[in-house]
Each structure stands twice: as structure tokens, then as C-alpha cells.
Structure 1
Amino acid sequence: MRRFRDDRGVGWREEGERFISCAVEEFERGGREGRDEVIRDAAEKAWLAVVKAVEALLLAKGFSEDEVETYRQKRLALDRLAQADPEVRRLGLRDRFAAREYNLHIRAFYDGEYVVEALREEMGKAERLIEDILSLIGRGGKMTF
């Protein structure tokens, strides 16, 4: 079963943009209402947007869906891609992916460990990471939008 589609259907880009947009809205609402669970869910949505973008990059760079199903597989594929692609290495995608995983997914979502303003920064970093991935896919990936 395909999770991502190319020019024949709705792609990861729309899904990722939806996740990050919902994450930002939810984060702001959680802050206004002082609701921890909403803020934590927002962090997880931002993390999922990053995951979708990274998976799309890996698929565009020639990895199969079977090679990038788990977070572990994505990390290892990014390791290999960073060794083979100087632009991926220059942009620090491996480190940035790992940082978002730790700060958004593990600390904020699972552990409930965050400072609101620091988490706001993390969400901005997630958005910038997605933008950088979009630029990489746009200049030479196999997928079209």
C-alpha cells in the first residue's frame, strides 16, 4: 500500500502542510487555554510533519517505501544520504531530524517536558526544516507537485 503519491494524487506536501498548520494553530490554542495536552499534541503534529517531509525526501532520492517505514530506518537512510549528497550534509538534515525527534516527539509529546517559548522555537525549526526539504525535492527529486 502506498502512503505517498506522486503527480497522480494528493501528495505528502499537502499532508505535511496540513500537519504543520494544525500544529501551529493547536499550539497557540493550547497556550491561550493553558492546556498541556493540547500543547503536547501540537508538538506531535509538528513532528509528524517533519517525518512526512523526510520520508518524501528519501523516496525522492531513490529509497523504497520498505526502506523508510520506521523512524530507525529513516535515521539510517538519512545517514546514508548525507554521506552521498553534499547538499543534504551541508543542510545538516540528519542532525536537524534527530533534534526535532528528541525535542518535539520525545520530550514535549511523550515526557511533557517543555518550556512554551522554547517549544515555539522548536516548531519554527520544524517549519524551516520542511522548507529546506521542499527546496531539495524541488530541484531534483523524482516526485512532482
Structure 2
Amino acid sequence: MKTKNNRYGTVPPCGAIGSVVFTPDIVEETVRYYFEHVPQLWGYYGFKDAFNLDRDWVSRIYIGIDKGIELLMIENYKTGLLWDITMRNKYIKDGLQKLSFHQTNKKQKKSAPLYMGATSLMFSLFHFPGRGRGYWGVNGSV
């Protein structure tokens, strides 16, 4: 059964979570939806690979590359570490300049609610009582 616009409706949570640096408010809302309305999507290592509500299906597996993008982009959202390291590379800087990107000295200031929103939600979900112990915690504990 296909959904509107000829799509099959399978959704990988890593897509939304990996977008936290671009749309943190939307990601927070999305993660809450997953957690509250698709509880079987949550497991020992966090969110499973994918789900499809049209087919009443949730993956039973976790995929490492999906966990990787989640972790990397949450860290990037919190600290900017990955973008800072990437932008130190002269080849990347040269390529972006050739594509007409311009460097700015403005740093987007994260407000407390925004910072505490998606990031804290994700970290709190990984140690939510009764949903299985996650693989990292707020203070990096295992």
C-alpha cells in the first residue's frame, strides 16, 4: 500500500536526528513523536533503523552508520566541533569559495531553550527508565 505522492512511507529516524543542526525545533518535535507514538521503535541502543506506520512495521535492527550520523550531528549541534574541524581544511575552504560561499564571523548564539530542547531530549531518551539502557549518557557514561 503506497501513501500520498507515490511513497512507501518508511521513515528512518536518523534522517530527522541528523538534521538537528538545521532545524532543532522540528527535530525535537519529531523525536518526541517517535518516542511517544511509536514506542516499539525505541530499544537498547536508541531508535531502531526505520518504521512504516502504513504497514504497521518497525525494524528490529540498528544500523551503525545511522547511529553514527545521530551522534555526530548531536555533537555538532551542541559544540560545532565537526564544522570547526572541517572548516580548518584548506581544500574545503577553497572549494566553498569557488562555489561562491562566503565566510562570516557571525556565530549563531544558541538560546538556552533551544540548546536544552532537542539535545537534552535525545540524551534523556537514551537513559529513560523502563525503555532500556542506552549507550551514552549526558555525562558520557556508559
Higher strand share: 2
> When the two structures are superposed, what TM-score results if normalisation uses the length of structure 2?
0.28
Larger radius of gyration: 2
> When the two structures are superposed, what TM-score results if normalisation uses the length of structure 1?
0.27
